[in-house]
Amino acid sequence: MRKKDIFKLLTFGIFLFLAMSVIAQDNYFRKWPKGSSPEEIGLLVAGRFIQSPHPNWGNSGPANEITYPETCAWYGALLFAKQTKNDMLLKALQGRYEVAMSTEKMLIPKADHVDHTVFGSIPLELYMQTDSARYLQQGIAYADQQWVLPENPKANQLEWHNKGYSWQTRLWIDDMFMISAIQAQAYRATGDTSYINRAAREMTLYLARLQRENGLFFHADDVPFFWGRGNGWYAAGMAELLRSLPADNANREEILTGYQKMMTTLLDYQDASGMWKQLLDDPNSWNESSGTAMFCYAMTLGVKNGWLEEKKFGPVVRRAWLALVDKIDERGDISAVCEGTNKKNDRQYYMDRRQLTGDLHGQAPLLWTAFALMQ
């Protein structure tokens, strides 16, 4: 065979491989039953968010602050608006922020805790979509304050700060989304790698302390349970960080290894329905929506970015997404969402948590996943 023919054959082979890869991803992520596509669900859930008042942890009565579940849903709606180029949705989300910063200013959280500091992700995203320097200034203040020691710090806060970590460190798995999101947003908005580098170093600290041999995470170092949403926060946090972490970052390989180990283990715990459990390793616990949606987001980014094998994880994502869609009502509210949960060294505590409908812990990762599936 002539060299010219061999070259043509190789070229055709490469083309065929790439074409088949695109077809496979289309089958997993694009050909959805009517009413279940990321575009349709994302618009429904984002519209529901716009219409909703500030939530109060699933309880009646007005909220006394903007909580982290609202921040996370707001962030997801902004990502979805950007992905779909929906200017009307962006303006509505921007308007909600402007109202909050004026007539509802008493509800704006201070940067005094990981759950409050993540609020800075909203103005940073608004800056990146509108180019208003005012939003940049507001968002960066949150990211900076996470590493600036407050007056009269507690002993443990001073200890973490002196080691180069955030004084807000507390070694709960939830933190790894909250810290990663605000610091990654600061990096995306400014291009200053110091933000994302310190978040990556923080991530390796939590990996070393909380990840178990099986790849899953305890809720905290003194709470030995594999809580579903808690693990979801960590999965989403790793994916959120990795999608922007520079290739030459010194901690990237360690984080990617921890992420892939976790994703592989999660394959063994997905229920036949496509969901994951409230306690991941307890088949008697209930199917929980927020953790499932967070795993769906993390795996979608993994497949899209080549961190995970498409043939292995693509069908898993698809099953999870369709299972979640089945739990969404006509208003855009998803059911079977674990209520806000503190840590407690008591298995029954996790089993007995209320199951809420429309809680933003579940609405938020639906929006993240819609955004990721459409990329």
Taking the C-alpha atoms of residue 255 and residue 196, their distance in angstroms, rounded to an integer, is: 13
Sequence-distant (6+) residues with CB within 8 A of 16 are: none
Determine the straight-line distance between the first and last CA of the chain, rounded to whole angstroms. Answer: 42
> Residue 172: helix, strand or coil by DSSP?
strand
Taking the C-alpha atoms of residue 74 and residue 63, their distance in angstroms, rounded to an integer, is: 16
* CB half-sphere exposure, 265, CA atoms < 13 A: 19
Rounded (10°) angle between helices 175-190 and 121-130? 30
Q: Which residues of 224-235 are buried (b: 16+ CB within 10 A; e: fewer)?
A: ebbbbbbbbbbb
Rounded to 5 degrees, φ, ψ at 318 are: -60, -45
Nearest to 184 by CA among 193, 173, 171: 193
Nearest to 45 by CA among 236, 330, 289, 296: 330
H/E stretch holding 230: helix 228-242
For the record, the structure tokens of 53 come out as 């008042």
What does DSSP assign to residue 287? E
> Residue 328: helix, strand or coil by DSSP?
strand
The gap from C-alpha 375 to its chain's centroid, in whole angstroms, comes to 15
pLDDT in 10s for each residue of the chain, 375 residues: 555 555 455 555 545 444 444 445 558 998 999 999 999 999 999 999 999 999 998 888 899 999 999 999 999 999 999 999 999 999 999 999 999 999 999 999 999 999 999 999 999 999 999 999 999 999 999 999 999 999 999 999 999 999 999 999 999 999 999 999 999 999 999 999 999 999 999 999 999 999 999 999 999 989 999 999 999 999 999 999 999 999 999 999 999 999 999 999 999 999 999 999 999 999 999 999 999 999 999 999 999 999 999 999 999 999 999 999 999 999 999 999 999 999 999 999 999 999 999 999 999 999 999 999 999
Q: What integer pLDDT is reported at residue 206 of this predicted model?
A: 97
Q: What integer pLDDT is reported at residue 18 of this predicted model?
A: 46
CB atoms within 10 A of CB 363: 29
Report which residue type is found at 201: R
**R_g of the chain computed on alpha carbons:** 21
Query: Left, alpha or beta for 267 (phi > 0: left; psi -120 to 50: alpha)?
Result: alpha
The residues pairing with 279 across neighbouring beta strands, listed in sequence order, are 227
Length of the chain counted residue by residue = 375
What does DSSP assign to residue 217? B
Taking the C-alpha atoms of residue 147 and residue 107, their distance in angstroms, rounded to an integer, is: 23
